């Protein structure tokens, strides 16, 4: 089955620890995205990548880092520098030639205490 | 002005009625628009896309785009309780390939 997978579904960490969220897709999509959603708010773009080995900062990149070593994978690291890391993290990808048409994975809910 | 703006609701309609969800956008947003449905605790699901002026129908859903008024809407006919969700409007930014999301409108369909 083709799709976007994110793991884990729920993640708990102590303050001060870095944590890496996984995002994998087997849809042959070139572009991948990371968003953050807080309760009652829309989606805010963290980072995005349109091709392998290249990525750009979104609107709220501070405290986050990414890599894009393979087309299928776009992991997000939430560092200890991120002041309010508790949120619902969503990974998305878009097919070739349809940059704005984004499909989402199931999300990872991160809680930092 | 926010780039993509929606009424947060909640919007409540009786079962079988037409639900109308609205969205306005700024000059910075392109003509590619999308509606996503998000159930509580789940990720957004793409349900409609519209690229040109006018109406686009898919089953019980109709998306409408009015470029002159910078307005996009989603109509849900014969609303069902299973349609109860938050609906996100999104538009493509003119430069950079980014999709901009509205805050979402919560829809509640009462049996």
Chain-wide mean pLDDT for chain B?
Answer: 94
Residue B108 banded pLDDT, cuts 50, 70, 90: very high
Q: Is the predicted pLDDT of residue A1 greater than 70, yes or no?
A: no
Residue A42 banded pLDDT, cuts 50, 70, 90: confident
Q: What pLDDT, on the 0 to 100 scale, is given for residue A40?
A: 76
Question: What torsion, rounded to 10 degrees, do the Cα atoms B71, B77, B80, B85 define?
Answer: -10
Q: Which of residues 64-83 of A touch B (CB under 8 A)?
A: none
Beta-ladder partners of A12: A111
Q: What does the block give as tokens for A3?
A: 């799709």
For B4, the 3-state DSSP assignment is strand
Q: Which residues contact A30 (CB under 8 A, 6 or more apart)?
A: A50, A51, A71, A94, A95, A96
pLDDT in tens, A44-97: 999 999 999 999 999 999 999 999 999 999 999 999 989 999 999 999 999 988
pLDDT in tens, A84-95: 999 999 999 999
Q: Is B43 on the interface with A (CB under 8 A)?
A: yes
- For chain B, percent of residues with pLDDT exceeding 90: 88
Q: What pLDDT, on the 0 to 100 scale, is given for residue B7?
A: 83
Q: Tell which residue, B33, B66, B73, has the closest CA to residue B51.
A: B33
What is the Cα B87 distance to its own chain's centre?
6
Q: How many CB pairs under 8 A join A and B?
A: 50
Please give the DSSP secondary-structure letter assigned to residue B83: G
Q: Is the predicted pLDDT of residue B54 greater than 90, yes or no?
A: yes
CB contact under 8 A, A103 and B102: no
For chain A, the first-to-last Cα distance in angstroms comes to 36
For B84, the 3-state DSSP assignment is coil
Give the closest-approach CA distance of A39 to chain B in angstroms. 10
Residue located via tokens 């944590």:
A19
- For chain A, percent of residues with pLDDT exceeding 70: 98
For B81, the 3-state DSSP assignment is helix
């Amino acid at each position: 089955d083709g799709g976007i997978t994110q793991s884990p579904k729920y993640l708990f960490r102590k303050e001060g620890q870095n944590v890496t969220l996984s995002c994998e897709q087997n849809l042959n999509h070139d572009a991948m995205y990371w968003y953050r959603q807080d309760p009652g708010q829309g989606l805010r773009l963290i980072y995005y990548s349109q091709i392998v080995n290249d990525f750009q900062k979104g609107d709220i990149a501070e405290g986050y880092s990414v890599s894009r070593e393979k087309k299928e994978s776009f992991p997000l690291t939430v560092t200890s520098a991120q002041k309010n890391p508790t949120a619902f993290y969503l990974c998305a990808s878009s097919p070739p030639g349809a940059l704005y048409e984004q499909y989402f994975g199931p999300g990872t809910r991160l809680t930092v205490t | 002005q926010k780039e993509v703006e929606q009424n947060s609701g909640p919007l409540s309609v009786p079962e079988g009625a037409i639900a109308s969800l609205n969205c306005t956008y700024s000059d910075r947003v392109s003509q590619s628009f999308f509606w996503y449905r998000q159930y509580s605790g789940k990720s957004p699901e793409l349900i409609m896309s519209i690229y040109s002026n006018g109406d686009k129908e898919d089953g019980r859903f109709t998306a409408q785009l009015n470029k002159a008024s910078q307005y996009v809407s989603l109509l849900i006919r014969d609303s069902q309780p299973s349609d109860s969700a938050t609906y996100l409007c999104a538009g493509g930014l003119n430069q950079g390939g980014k999709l901009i999301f509205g805050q979402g409108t919560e829809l509640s369909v009462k049996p």
